């Protein structure tokens, strides 16, 4: 049996600290496998995973695919372009048909909030949320939390500052809940038009529109991508103005604590939310995040499929 208290990974909003601990501790063992010459274990041999990506993705899709391959699972990739969705089939019908082909786990990314939860409710498959609209992206937050622990040790009492387009960011939402559950202090910074519409959803979080105040003494800064595809009109005067006030530039880095860790979930708009010299500089752990992403996804798939191999 899985040692997680949940059957699906839909989000971190109500995550139990113990579940987060189990995932992060299991990630550590998978991370060490990825440094071996042969990066494959038989933990999911005989199990089948379907990757349902209804929205664009490079690193999350490849990361899940590599995680599944490294666990020896069989996998099938679905992309909505070229599928029967174009002929009017509903998502639930698509999933039920795929399920009828005997699959065990489904990884789903969709532009609609709540699609993974809906599929979990109405099908028998185990569901992993790979990003739903502007709601949650739990595996990204878990890989961020893993990277932060690797760099800083225990997160209890550490200050993590999330800067940018928080309103449209599922990464920010999952991180705020996950980091808070592990005892980190979270500061959130962005233009007031891009801060959450309902800040009461987030307890014990400091909100600010002043980036220097936000990064002051922070142990880590997570810069968010400006989500041009999710912008309603007129939330920003211009990208140039955004960079001037909220970009993580060399100058902002200089006013931060020495050794501050710079993170970004990717893809980066270089010169907008993050300057290239900072993204590629010695404080950046952005590529570490990507490497850790595979291990975190291995841990999640392995733990959620825990009972299946022996049923």
Which residue from 59, 69, 96, 257 is in contact with ligand NCD, where contact means CB under 6 A? 59
- Is residue 269 near ligand NCD by the rule CB under 6 A? no
- Is residue 13 near ligand NCD by the rule CB under 6 A? no
- Is residue 185 near ligand NCD by the rule CB under 6 A? no
- Is residue 60 near ligand NCD by the rule CB under 6 A? yes
| Residue 189 CA from chain centroid, whole number | 19
Q: How far is the CB of 204 from ligand NCD (least distance, A)?
A: 24
Compute the CA torsion angle 178, 149, 299, 202 (nearest 10 deg): 0
Which residue from 265, 297, 298, 305 is in contact with ligand NCD, where contact means CB under 6 A? 265
- Is residue 266 near ligand NCD by the rule CB under 6 A? yes
Which residue from 8, 31, 110, 137 is in contact with ligand NCD, where contact means CB under 6 A? 137
Q: What is the DSSP string of 171-218?
A: HHHHHHHHHHHTT-EEEEE--GGGS-S-GGGSTTEEEES-HHHHHTT-
Contacts with ligand NCD, 107-136, as mask; x by CB under 6 A: ------------------------x-----
| Among 26, 28, 3, CA closest to 16 | 3
| Among 297, 310, 286, 261, CA closest to 139 | 297
Number of residues binding to ligand NCD, judged by CB under 6 A: 11
Alpha carbon distance 172, 134 (integer Å): 9
Alpha carbon distance 177, 12 (integer Å): 6
- Is residue 140 near ligand NCD by the rule CB under 6 A? yes
Q: How far is the CB of 156 from ligand NCD (least distance, A)?
A: 26
Q: How far is the CB of 171 from ligand NCD (least distance, A)?
A: 5
Q: How far is the CB of 307 from ligand NCD (least distance, A)?
A: 28
- Is residue 171 near ligand NCD by the rule CB under 6 A? yes
Instruction: Enumerate residues 19-48 that contact ligand NCD by CB under 6 A.
Output: none
Alpha carbon distance 279, 208 (integer Å): 23
To 5 degrees, how large is the angle CA 301–CA 79–CA 24? Answer: 20
In the sheet where 205-208 sits, what is the strand order?
Answer: 205-208, 185-189, 159-163, 220-223, 261-263
- Is residue 225 near ligand NCD by the rule CB under 6 A? yes
113: tokens are 């909030």
- Is residue 61 near ligand NCD by the rule CB under 6 A? no
**How many helices, marked H, and strands, marked E, lie in the chain?**
11, 9
* Closer residue to ligand NCD in complex, CB, 139/159: 139
Residue ranges binding ligand NCD (CB under 6 A):
59-60, 131, 137, 140, 170-171, 225, 227, 265-266
């Amino acid at each position: 049996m899985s040692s997680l208290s949940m059957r699906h990974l839909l989000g971190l909003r109500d995550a139990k600290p113990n579940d987060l601990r189990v995932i992060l501790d299991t990630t550590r063992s998978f991370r060490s496998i990825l440094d071996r010459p042969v990066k494959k274990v038989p933990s999911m041999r005989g199990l089948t995973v379907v990757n349902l990506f209804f929205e664009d993705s490079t690193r999350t899709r490849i990361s899940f695919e590599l995680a599944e391959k490294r666990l020896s699972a069989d996998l099938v990739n679905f992309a909505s372009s070229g599928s029967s969705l174009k002929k009017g089939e509903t998502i639930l019908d698509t999933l039920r048909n795929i399920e009828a082909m005997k699959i065990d786990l489904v990884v789903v990314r969709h532009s609609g909030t709540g699609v993974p939860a809906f599929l979990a409710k109405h099908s028998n498959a185990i569901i992993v949320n790979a990003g739903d609209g502007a709601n949650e992206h739990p595996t990204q937050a878990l890989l961020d939390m893993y990277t932060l622990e690797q760099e800083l040790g225990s997160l209890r009492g550490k200050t993590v500052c999330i800067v940018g387009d928080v309103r449209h960011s599922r990464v920010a939402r999952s991180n705020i809940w996950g980091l808070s559950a592990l005892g980190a202090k979270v500061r959130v910074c962005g233009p007031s038009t891009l801060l959450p519409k309902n800040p009461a959803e987030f307890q014990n979080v400091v909100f600010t529109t002043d980036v220097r105040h936000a990064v002051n003494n922070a142990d880590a800064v997570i810069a968010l991508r400006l989500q041009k595809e999710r912008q309603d009109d007129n939330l920003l005067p211009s990208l140039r103005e955004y960079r001037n006030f909220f970009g993580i530039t060399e100058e902002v880095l200089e006013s931060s604590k020495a050794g501050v860790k710079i993170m970004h979930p990717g893809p980066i708009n270089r010169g907008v939310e993050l300057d290239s010299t900072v993204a590629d500089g010695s404080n950046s752990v952005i590529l570490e995040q990507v490497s850790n992403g595979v291990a975190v996804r291995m841990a999640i798939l392995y733990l959620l499929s825990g009972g299946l191999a022996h049923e």
